[in-house]
Structure 1
Amino acid sequence: QLVVGAAVGLALGRLGRELLSRVALSVAGLYPLATVAIVLLGYSTATAAGASGFMAAYLAGLVLGNSQLPHRGAVFGFAGSLALMAEAGLYVLLGLLASPDRLPEAVGPALLVGGVAVLVARPAAVVLSLLPFRVPWRHQVFVSWTGLRGAVPIVLTTIPITERVPGAERVLDIVFVLVVLLTLVQAPTLPLVGRWLGVVEPVHTRDLEVESAPLEQMNAVLLQLHVGPASRLHGVYVEELRLPPGAQVSLIVRDGKSLVPGPYTYFAHGDSVLVVTPTAVREATEGRLRAVTRGGKLARWNGQDG
């Protein structure tokens, strides 16, 4: 089931990526809906084939989420909002299924299960899973410290409930107490553990935001970017961008006024910029824009390749 589900998810994810990048939909709001529909199609297809729908949906979403989709920001915003609504619904479902009268009896088993999971089972699983990737031990310790909480254990617990497995309510009560305890006790320590292990990176202001829309008949892509307050694109002239052949800066909106840029037009903080690029060099164009916004006009000398 896992193997077939993974194959279905990867296949539909790649097919959806190609379709969304080549088809120009009439309304930008259709791209988030189409992306979610592809993920749901992966779940339903795998389930109909007797495979794991969860695995198919996860891998399809993973492929699409790491692809350069049109209107990527809108897709991510819609998917994030939908995920929050789904998680809220799962927590409500967990609360409806759990009974306060049974919870005191589940505290002891939940503490035992949580202790074994956090101190033994999870570290062992993390070490075995990450061994081929040579992940530093600090990162392994941090991953091991994250506990069983959130939507995933709730979903897994509801499966035996729906299948009416004997003893499923007992498991549900233990998971409920375990999720609550780890969320209240362990979760607040994650920032401290991360800083102690040196694996938490400082939060940087987003210095470049890129949106894209396909121009199907022209075999081109329209990139929309915003020059943030920390961007080193500020003060760089258009000709200093050295974009790939065929890519052009077509419009700059500054302080509510639009202007058609020339070679000696410079960028400034707060600018909204439109760049038209052939589909073939889209990735190279985005990479160059990111490199310049991090390293300035001497991005390559500063080791920034995008």
Structure 2
Amino acid sequence: MMITAENILLIGSILIFISILISKTGYKFGIPTLLLFLLVGMLFGSDGLGIQFNSAKDAQFVGMIALSIILFTGGMDTRFREIKPILPQGILLSTAGVLVTTLLTGLFIYFLSDHTKADIQLTLLASLLLAATMSSTDSASVFNLLRSQRMNLKENLRPMLELESGSNDPMAYMLTIVLIQVIGSGTDLHAGIIARDLLVQFFFGGTIGYAAGKFAVWLINKIELPNTSLYPILLLSIVFITFTTTDLVHGNGYLAVYIAGVIVGNAKLASRKETQTFMDGLTWLFQIIMFLALGLLVNPHEMIGIAGIGLLIGAFMIVVARPVSVFLCLLPFRNISLRARLFVSWVGLRGAVPIIFATYPVIAEIPGSNQLFNIVFFITLLSLVIQGMSISQMARWLKLDMPQAKEGNAFGVELPDEIDTRLDDLTLTAEMLEEGNRLADMNLPQGTLVMLVKRGNEFIIPNGQIELHEGDKLLLISENKQKKRQNL
């Protein structure tokens, strides 16, 4: 069955519907939801139920849109106070770590090709190109796994891993594009050219991303739109303008949208709740679409021939290349424990980004690019199965897991950022009511008021004489500590 304009809505809706239902079952067994979306695409593809989708350009375009949204939303969820202490570690992992992974993996692939009877024949440059497409950790997979599994980690590891995955695509992208150009033109590989292009990518990506984030915050807080639903749509347009503008000046659009997201997420923003809800929903939608498209693109029967070599390369990346790059990058930081280094080494997740990068050689018609694409796809599946399904278990085994911090309150009430207060909830116990069961008898801190009382499914607007019961939940509004000190 060919995907046409007439049936794309029906087929797409059915695939999304099935993916969401399957993901609910998979979550109970600890299977990464993104892996399931990929498998659904493969099930319905050419070797499954027969949907024909073979356009690498279309898959690349879908991936570009999806990654822009995923990285921006990931940036919005990243608290600057959390990433500030681990900024040097994250930058080293996302630059030097990618380069070391590429070199080690590329040399290993070339060794297999040149010195063994493995069914792969690649030049040194082609081996490095294959390694470069897989050298970055996947932002969609890392964000999704750490947040969907509600993981809270010691030693500030979660923001470090999210920062690395959100900012290491530029290096992998640059290496991939440069190697494609060198192979395609037949010229020599010059380290100076790579360094220059990389600096351009980072400079324009960082500068435009920062400026776009500041502009977005200013505009959304300044403009008065007739409907609050328009604010997230306005923000989304800025995201795509940021990506395309950065790409036009040869900067890295993925880095730009991530930095813009960090700036927006750490500023006071009008209609934040509506915007966050909209972006979270859109992120999930495009994650599903992206992984389904990539699953449809691959021909599973073609991976049978590269399964052996894929296992060898995948095992090398998991056991050797990733740990060596992590330990080298974190060598200057003595305060990071051995357990933390081992965990960071294990979270070298591959996902949609390597597969999307692997479409570039296919589009450029590099010799053997289809084999490269299949190897990358196989290793991505391997990574999601082995590493993705064991991250939470590895955190527990290394004793790095922590209880998830409670977010929000039991009432689901939020206040605009402009109001310098915070909301908390409190569940009453028998001990709390020993000195009296009226609200007036409660010994609340100065500057704290009770907004609502929740009793079962009933919500009560309180006054001082209301009788409280054990198990009642109180919604408390309090002045921030800084404001309290100013008042004193």
Cα separation, 2, equivalents of 1:169 and 1:151: 17
Report the CA distance between 1:144 and its aligned residue.
Answer: 0.8
Aligned to 1:53: 253
Map residues 185-264 of structure 1 onto 2, 5 A cutoff.
185-206=386-407, 208=409, 211-213=414-416, 220-221=418-419, 225=423, 227=425, 229=427, 240-242=445-447, 252=452, 255-258=458-461
Identical-residue share of aligned pairs (%): 28
Cα separation, 1, equivalents of 2:284 and 2:247: 24
Aligned to 1:19: 219
Aligned to 1:173: 374
State whether residues 210 and 224 of structure 1, in contact with CA within 8 Å, keep that contact through their aligned partners in structure 2. no
SS of the equivalent of 1:101 reads helix
Report the CA distance between 1:29 and its aligned residue.
Answer: 2.4
One-letter code aligned to 1:213: P
| Counterpart among 101, 106, 114 of residue 314 in structure 2 | 114
For residues 26 and 140 of structure 1, do their structure 2 counterparts lie closer, same or farther at Cα, with a shift above 3 Å needed?
farther
For residues 223 and 88 of structure 1, do their structure 2 counterparts lie closer, same or farther at Cα, with a shift above 3 Å needed?
same
For residues 169 and 148 of structure 1, do their structure 2 counterparts lie closer, same or farther at Cα, with a shift above 3 Å needed?
farther
For residues 269 and 129 of structure 1, do their structure 2 counterparts lie closer, same or farther at Cα, with a shift above 3 Å needed?
farther
Cα separation, 2, equivalents of 1:127 and 1:22: 46
Map residues 39-188 of structure 1 onto 2, 5 A cutoff.
39-131=239-331, 134-188=335-389
Unaligned runs of 5+ in 2: 1-200, 434-438
For residues 46 and 106 of structure 1, do their structure 2 counterparts lie closer, same or farther at Cα, with a shift above 3 Å needed?
same
Report the CA distance between 1:103 and its aligned residue.
Answer: 0.6
Aligned to 1:303: none
Report the CA distance between 1:251 and its aligned residue.
Answer: 5.3
One-letter code aligned to 2:367: P
Cα separation, 1, equivalents of 2:271 and 2:446: 23
For residues 221 and 240 of structure 1, do their structure 2 counterparts lie closer, same or farther at Cα, with a shift above 3 Å needed?
same
For residues 237 and 223 of structure 1, do their structure 2 counterparts lie closer, same or farther at Cα, with a shift above 3 Å needed?
same
- Higher mean C-alpha deviation, range 133-142 or range 2-11: 133-142
SS of the equivalent of 1:256 reads strand
For residues 167 and 66 of structure 1, do their structure 2 counterparts lie closer, same or farther at Cα, with a shift above 3 Å needed?
farther
Report the CA distance between 1:75 and its aligned residue.
Answer: 2.9
Cα separation, 1, equivalents of 2:251 and 2:286: 23
State whether residues 123 and 141 of structure 1, in contact with CA within 8 Å, keep that contact through their aligned partners in structure 2. yes
TM-score, scaled relative to structure 2: 0.47
State whether residues 232 and 278 of structure 2, in contact with CA within 8 Å, keep that contact through their aligned partners in structure 1. yes
SS of the equivalent of 2:362 reads helix
State whether residues 35 and 64 of structure 1, in contact with CA within 8 Å, keep that contact through their aligned partners in structure 2. no
Structure having greater relative contact order (Cα 8 Å, sep ≥ 6): 2
For residues 118 and 35 of structure 1, do their structure 2 counterparts lie closer, same or farther at Cα, with a shift above 3 Å needed?
same
For residues 62 and 144 of structure 1, do their structure 2 counterparts lie closer, same or farther at Cα, with a shift above 3 Å needed?
same
For residues 84 and 228 of structure 1, do their structure 2 counterparts lie closer, same or farther at Cα, with a shift above 3 Å needed?
farther
Alignment coverage as a number of residue pairs:
268
Structure having the larger proportion of residues in strand: 1
Report the CA distance between 1:178 and its aligned residue.
Answer: 1.1
Cα separation, 2, equivalents of 1:109 and 1:78: 42
Aligned to 2:151: none
TM-score, scaled relative to structure 1: 0.71
Map residues 272-287 of structure 1 onto 2, 5 A cutoff.
272=475, 284=482
Unaligned runs of 5+ in 1: 215-219, 244-248, 289-299, 301-306
Cα separation, 1, equivalents of 2:382 and 2:253: 30
Matched, 1:33 2:247: no
One-letter code aligned to 1:202: P
SS of the equivalent of 1:2 reads helix
